[in-house]
Structure 1
Amino acid sequence: MILDGLPLELMREVLLDLPTVDIIQTVKCTRRLYHFAKVDKALSRRLQNRVFNVRLCFEDYELCAICRKPVLIRFLSMKFHRANNAVNHSNNSRFSFWFENECKCGYIADPTLEIESGILDHPSFLYDNHLLRGFENGTSFVIKNDSLDEAIINCSKLFNILMKFCVVRKLKLSINSNNDDNCLWDKMNAFFNANPPDLRIQFHVSTDSRINLDIFLTGRIFSNGFAGIEVYNGSEPTLTNAYHEVLRRTPNVLFLGMNLPYTYEDLFGFFKDTKTLSLWSAARITEKQICQLVQHFYEVKQDEERMFEIGIDESLLVKDFLALIPEEAYKLHLKRSGIVGPEPETRTWVEMTDRFGGRWALIVAITDYHWSFLNIGSMKYFIEGHLTKPCNEFSLNQFFN
């Protein structure tokens, strides 16, 4: 093999210039290279088996409770766990960016490590001397800047560093539709267009109902598309761009607390390629049409990864949606819930076998705020034990893995 014939010192320099995910794959090619990488200090630091979730967040201004100055919340946060850790213990680190004349009370109160922005121009030094130890300890970092524009550029630089030096499992962008967020994102997007990050996965996006979804069609940072998008009510209960291309292309879509124009036909029309659709909102889908939805799952072969969550009247039970399928196609199951009360509470769920032998679970979930939803998903991913847990209104698809 070619790699066996190359000098190890030459390979070392080449490897250290690669993103961490490529280093891991390359050193697996030969036993000689793998053992060399394990004993080399710089390479071994890159091979430490951490897996990260990364969140890039822009939020609104808030008033500091101490000095009452406005604070613009913008940060990068990371949660990591060791890839082979059976306990799956995780630590959290957060990077906050502030500039002159901004409130700093929160940073004084919390244990943080201050980093000079110039270190961002030396990624290897930053990673080896600050980030590794900080991730282990769950340290929060503060990066000082002279202006808001500089803070945005430095946040973008750090994002690119993390994409190169870390193994990222999940990537989330939280952005609002206000003018400040749009202005900040335009500047950051321009930086990413000129300096594209090494992205190997797709973004999960959380945004509000007023957002202009066109911003997700431009920019090299979104060239991989999206793993999922969550749209919540941002003081505008009606989703104006409900039939936008971004929503049609994204495999996992959630709408929370809005009035939606979607009809039964949209479930198998506009959303025909959607894997998980969660309508935690008012939609134009009747009880009879939800029965037709169940019938459709019975009569038409579905992708086993397909899942639906649809809001229903809280008085309805799961058996109310079985009228259009034969009785021999389903079984009713009772499971005692974990909700504490004067009397034991049980949940009824349905196991349905479609015409093609596929098995589906149907559950009615009621959240703490008495919102009711019908969940439909493959038995392959169904976890019956989760029925014993109280339903959290923000735990999407909590009955399926």
Structure 2
Amino acid sequence: MILDVLPLELMREVLLDLPTVDIIQTVKCTRRLHYFATEKDKALGRRLQNCIILSGRLCIGSIFCWKCGNPVLCLYLGTKFFRANDAATQWNHNSFDFWFEGGCKCWHINGPKIEPDLLNHPSSFYESHLLKGFENRTNFVINNGSLDDAVINCGKLFNILTKFSIVRVFRLELDSSDGHIWDKMNPFFNANPPDLRIQSYVSICNVDSEIKLDSFSAGSIFSNGLVEISIRSRFKPILVNAYHEVFRRTPNVFFSGITLPYTYEDLFGFFKDTKELTLGSVTRITKQQLCQLVQNFYEVKHDEECFFKIGIEEDFLVKDLLTLIPEEAYSLHLKRSGDIGPEPEMMIWAEMTDRFGGRWGLMDITVYELGIVRDENLLIICSMKYFNEDSDQFDSDQSDSYQSDSDQSDSDSDQL
């Protein structure tokens, strides 16, 4: 193997320029290289001994500080440390606040200040700030001139983090923004692609203008696709291309508070490959068509990962939706609701066995928002393996898509 004959000094320079994931995989190839990287070379040893496993949340938009009323731009991170010969791992929460002219400067005023020029020297920045800072749960502050400078520097920082850490989870949140900030950051990522090798989560809430969905299907930062896209509106209408490819390709799709053109046919047409679908919005689906939906789950074999939550502006109980399937195929049960409404109450849920022996839980939920009943009922259909009979929760590992303390396998960093 060529790695056994190349000079170690040359290999050292090549390895230090690689993302951490590639260093780990490369040094596993030969015992000679593994011994050199883990025992002999200090720089490589530090990269491998202090392996950062990253769960990141990039929150951008016109989020205003409740103290000063100025906008905030933050990058929130959860970091998990792996140390060789140490079975314990440490989960820390860190943040990067980007100060800019006219922006909020109320928080983390005692945190270490980072000059933007340091972001142009990734290795020095990693050695002098990231390692020690992450160990101590540091809230960093990065000084910038304008908001445009802050957006670009936020992109630079994200690229550094993807190179020097193993990214397990990444979630992009666009909140209360007209989209201009993301419109500026996305071209930076297209010109300087981050080393992101996972599918990402995207959450969009209360934006003022039409959402440009192409950036989530064609942008370099999402080249591996999305695992979930969520769009919510609480106070204002949102314009969205409901039949964009990004919704068809993404396994988990969530809408809330939006008027959508979807029909019953779209549930098994446009969304035929969707694993979890939540339509907590106004659609063209009727109560009678919910009966047809239940009938379809009875007569057609579905993947047990299929998880539907469909809302309509009509009152119904789950027992009203069982009229098109045989009585012997289902049973009704009582359960105490949890925090669905202001006061707990008894509710009826159904267990249905389809023609193929699959077991499904069905429940109707009245939708509450800020303690107020909305004119919307929600039908939930999911495999019984996700249904917890003792609570109003569903145990789907998809239902809480972002977990800061991700329990995913750390195989990339094992056995260095």
Contact 1:153 1:191 in 2 (8 A): yes
Partner of 2:318: 318
Partner of 2:360: 360
Q: CA deviation at 1:114?
A: 1.1
**Cα distance change, pair 146–346 in 1 and its aligned pair in 2 (3 A):** same
**Cα distance change, pair 31–388 in 1 and its aligned pair in 2 (3 A):** farther
Partner of 2:158: 159
d(CA) in 1 for partners of 2:28, 2:201: 30
Q: CA deviation at 1:30?
A: 3.6
Q: CA RMSD in A?
A: 3.6
Identity of matched residues, %? 57
Partner of 1:114: 113
Q: CA deviation at 1:164?
A: 1.0
Aligned length: 388
Question: Match for 1:267: what amino acid?
Answer: L
Contact 1:339 1:390 in 2 (8 A): no
Q: CA deviation at 1:253?
A: 0.9
Match of 1:397 among 390, 396, 399: 399
Moved more, 219-228 or 260-269: 219-228
d(CA) in 2 for partners of 1:344, 1:236: 30
* Bigger relative contact order (CA 8 A; separation at least 6): 2
Q: Does 1:126 align with 2:125?
A: yes
Partner of 1:74: 73
Contact 1:239 1:259 in 2 (8 A): no
**Cα distance change, pair 87–274 in 1 and its aligned pair in 2 (3 A):** farther
Moved more, 27-36 or 195-204: 27-36
Q: CA deviation at 1:61?
A: 5.3
Partner of 1:373: 378
Q: Does 1:292 align with 2:292?
A: yes
Question: Match for 1:126: what amino acid?
Answer: F
Partner of 2:64: 62
Q: Which runs of 5+ in 1 are unaligned?
A: none
Contact 1:177 1:212 in 2 (8 A): no
**Cα distance change, pair 52–364 in 1 and its aligned pair in 2 (3 A):** farther
Q: CA deviation at 1:378?
A: 2.7
**Aligned pairs for 1:2-401 within 5 A:** 2-39=2-39, 40-47=41-48, 48-60=50-62, 62=64, 65=67, 68=68, 70-82=69-81, 90-108=91-109, 111-176=110-175, 178-179=177-178, 181-182=179-180, 184-208=181-205, 210-233=210-233, 235-237=235-237, 239-311=239-311, 316-332=316-332, 348-365=348-365, 369=371, 370=373, 372-380=377-385, 382=386, 384=388, 387-388=390-391, 397=399
d(CA) in 1 for partners of 2:18, 2:202: 27
**Cα distance change, pair 313–191 in 1 and its aligned pair in 2 (3 A):** closer
Question: Match for 1:46: what amino acid?
Answer: R
Q: Secondary structure at the match of 1:112?
A: coil
Contact 2:3 2:30 in 1 (8 A): yes
**Cα distance change, pair 36–316 in 1 and its aligned pair in 2 (3 A):** farther
d(CA) in 2 for partners of 1:163, 1:153: 16
What is the TM-score with the length of structure 2 in the denominator? 0.80
Q: CA deviation at 1:174?
A: 1.8
Q: CA deviation at 1:359?
A: 3.1
Question: Match for 2:211: what amino acid?
Answer: I
Q: CA deviation at 1:178?
A: 4.5
**Cα distance change, pair 155–5 in 1 and its aligned pair in 2 (3 A):** same
Contact 1:176 1:211 in 2 (8 A): no
Q: CA deviation at 1:217?
A: 4.7
**1:227-246 C-alpha deviation (Å, 9 max, x unpaired):** 21111116443645222232
Question: Match for 1:28: what amino acid?
Answer: K
**Cα distance change, pair 155–330 in 1 and its aligned pair in 2 (3 A):** same
**1:89-135 C-alpha deviation (Å, 9 max, x unpaired):** 63211111112454422342xx4221111111121221222112222
d(CA) in 2 for partners of 1:340, 1:258: 21
**Cα distance change, pair 338–63 in 1 and its aligned pair in 2 (3 A):** closer
d(CA) in 2 for partners of 1:156, 1:163: 11
d(CA) in 1 for partners of 2:191, 2:367: 45
**Cα distance change, pair 147–320 in 1 and its aligned pair in 2 (3 A):** same
Contact 1:177 1:211 in 2 (8 A): no
Contact 1:352 1:361 in 2 (8 A): yes
d(CA) in 2 for partners of 1:46, 1:352: 53
Q: Which runs of 5+ in 2 are unaligned?
A: 404-416
Q: Secondary structure at the match of 2:70?
A: strand
**Cα distance change, pair 235–349 in 1 and its aligned pair in 2 (3 A):** closer
Q: CA deviation at 1:160?
A: 0.6
Moved more, 227-236 or 371-380: 371-380
**Cα distance change, pair 389–82 in 1 and its aligned pair in 2 (3 A):** farther
Moved more, 75-84 or 363-372: 363-372
Q: CA deviation at 1:169?
A: 1.6
**Cα distance change, pair 340–263 in 1 and its aligned pair in 2 (3 A):** closer
Contact 1:51 1:83 in 2 (8 A): yes
d(CA) in 2 for partners of 1:81, 1:217: 29
Partner of 2:409: none
Q: Secondary structure at the match of 2:237?
A: coil
**Cα distance change, pair 398–202 in 1 and its aligned pair in 2 (3 A):** closer
**Cα distance change, pair 73–36 in 1 and its aligned pair in 2 (3 A):** same
Contact 1:308 1:375 in 2 (8 A): yes
Moved more, 191-200 or 243-252: 243-252
d(CA) in 2 for partners of 1:366, 1:88: 42
